[in-house]
Amino acid sequence: MACFAGVVALALLLLQPLLAGGYLPGLAARRSRHLHAWVGAGLLAAVVVHVAGLWLTSPPE
């Protein structure tokens, strides 16, 4: 699960600047900013799941 959360985080990371700059066709500026905020929250959640999963499964040193 931690691995897939990392993959999702990387995909969302690619989407963030496109939403912030308004480079996605078919989206109004207001809608793009709204999605930018939601994608940012999803990115934060994916990073937390990724780091927590890796911390739980990593062997102690």
pLDDT attached to residue 59? 78
pLDDT attached to residue 12? 94
Per-residue pLDDT 10s for the chain (61 aa) are 889 999 999 999 999 999 999 898 998 989 999 999 999 999 999 999 999 999 999 877 7
Q: How many domains is the chain partitioned into structurally?
A: 1
**What's the token pair of residue 52?**
């927590």
pLDDT attached to residue 58? 87
SS3 for 8-57 is HHHHHHHHHHHHHHCCCCCCCHHHHHHHHHHHHHHHHHHHHHHHHHHHHH
Q: What pTM was computed for the model? A: 0.84
- Domain residues for the domain of 27 are 2-57
